[in-house]
Amino acid sequence: MKVLLFGGAGYIGTHVSLAFLDRKDTVGIFDNLSSGLRSNVDSRCLFFEGDILDKERVREVLSQGWDAVIHLAAFKAAGESMIKPFKYSENNITGSLNLITECVKAGIKNFILSSSAAVYGEPAYLPVDEDHPKHPTNYYGYTKLCIEENLRWYSELKDFNYVSLRYFNAAGYDNDGRMLGLEKNPANLIPVVMEVAAGIRPNLLVFGNDYDTADGTGVRDYVHVTDLAQGHVMAADYVMKNQENLVVNLGSEYGLSVQQIIDSAREITGKTIEVQYVERRPGDPAKLVASSQKAREVLGWKAEHSSVDSIIASTWKVYEANSVKAGSLQ
């Protein structure tokens, strides 16, 4: 298979590229390097620098003939999207519409979207399945929902099919240490915890310890990025074989609290990890856990690497290596 990954030099995209390369597929990476890193791109990949807002560049690269396109080129900080909505509408919505339109025009029929559990908003019930109402509580989540809705329309109107993968909390690093690039200015819990352990930032702010959960901190479904990557391979095979649309959750189906993450990180890193408990972050639900039954049944997908220890240990290996090199680790 010949697959083109938009946003393929980022954290998730790099892992997805490794999963396809492991099967000897031909992988192209299209990235503007705004948050992705050139050094993440495996030498076996074809690399195209470009922006999804640049229609001509997108057209030029698509014209090289691809079996499937995977779209991971998006901003993803839920909090930031509430302060800078234009940044999110321009890149995530306008950029995605450019991309989908150009794929249809180029005759590319198989499209995989990197979507998010953020499309659901505050859970009305748990675990959250794909039929759960969609009322995003942040603008980022709305951008993903908007792209999904356009994909549905395009597939009705044109000869075009898609799979939308609704990730829960992506975490962890390639267990074989093939990906060493750190995210720039991370806002997600686990990279922030790692930066504290590595001496890059002084402490972790825990956003609320008065939630209605066992220890009072927020509970999320952390899914290993290698499991997510495998989901993309299965999604590409599915859409090419069946020529029909699919929307599925990818989550571990297991809830972990912020406190459980801190405890595991302290044990695995051997570091103190200073913590300060502060106010809740607006828009954060208390608890979010996936049902991945559909992904299991339809794709045969399973979260195999998503234990807390595997997630924390694989991430720490990368942060430790980078920090020793940069001299921040004592």
Pick one of 41, 118, 247, 308: the residue that binds ligand UD1 (CB under 6 A).
118
134 forms part of the interface with ligand UD1 (CB under 6 A) = no
- Return the range that interacts with ligand UD1 (CB under 6 A); candidates 95-103, 188-196, 232-240, 319-327: 188-196
Backbone angles phi, psi at 257, to 5 degrees: -85, 165
Residue type, 219: V
Which residue's CB atom is positioned nearest to ligand UD1? Answer: 218
- Return the range that interacts with ligand UD1 (CB under 6 A); candidates 50-58, 66-74, 200-208, 240-248: 200-208
**Per-residue b/e over 168-193, b at no fewer than 16 CB within 10 Å?**
bbbbbbbeeeebbbbeeebebbbbbb
User: Locate tokens 């356009």: which residue?
Assistant: 150
**Catalytic-residue membership of 140:** yes
Please, which residue, 26 or 188, has the CB nearer to ligand UD1?
188
Q: Which of 88, 120, 140, 167 is an active site residue? A: 140
Q: Which of residues 29-68 bind ligand UD1 (CB under 6 A)?
A: none
Count of residues engaged in binding ligand UD1, rule: CB under 6 A: 24
CA terminus-to-terminus distance, the chain: 46
Please, which residue, 3 or 74, has the CB nearer to ligand UD1?
74
Question: Going edge to edge, which strands form the sheet with 110-116?
Answer: 46-49, 26-31, 2-6, 68-71, 110-116, 161-167, 246-250
Which among 91, 110, 131 has a CA at the least distance from the CA of 232? 110
* Distance of alpha carbon 324 from alpha carbon 330, whole angstroms: 8
306 forms part of the interface with ligand UD1 (CB under 6 A) = no
Please, which residue, 109 or 287, has the CB nearer to ligand UD1?
287
220 forms part of the interface with ligand UD1 (CB under 6 A) = yes
* Distance of alpha carbon 154 from alpha carbon 288, whole angstroms: 30
Please, which residue, 1 or 286, has the CB nearer to ligand UD1?
286
178 forms part of the interface with ligand UD1 (CB under 6 A) = no
Q: How far is the CB of 285 from ligand UD1 (least distance, A)?
A: 6
Q: How many CA atoms lie within 13 A of 39 on its CB side?
A: 6
Own/partner pairs, 179-182, CB within 8 angstroms, 24+ separation: 179/14, 179/15, 179/18, 179/40, 179/318, 180/39, 180/318, 180/321, 180/322, 181/11, 181/14, 181/37, 181/39, 181/40, 182/318, 182/319, 182/322
Q: How far is the CB of 68 from ligand UD1 (least distance, A)?
A: 22
Q: How far is the CB of 242 from ligand UD1 (least distance, A)?
A: 26
Please, which residue, 61 or 118, has the CB nearer to ligand UD1?
118
The verdict on whether omega for the bond into residue 127 sits within 30 degrees of 0, i.e. cis, is: yes
Pick one of 63, 135, 159, 205: the residue that binds ligand UD1 (CB under 6 A).
205
Helices (H), 23-160: 55-62, 78-83, 85-88, 95-105, 139-157
Q: How far is the CB of 119 from ligand UD1 (least distance, A)?
A: 8
Pick one of 281, 294, 296, 302: the residue that binds ligand UD1 (CB under 6 A).
281
Please, which residue, 83 or 205, has the CB nearer to ligand UD1?
205
Active site residues per annotation: 140
Query: Where on the chain is the footprint of ligand UD1 (CB under 6 A)?
Result: 76-78, 116-118, 138, 141, 167, 169, 187-189, 192, 204-207, 218, 220, 258, 281, 284-285
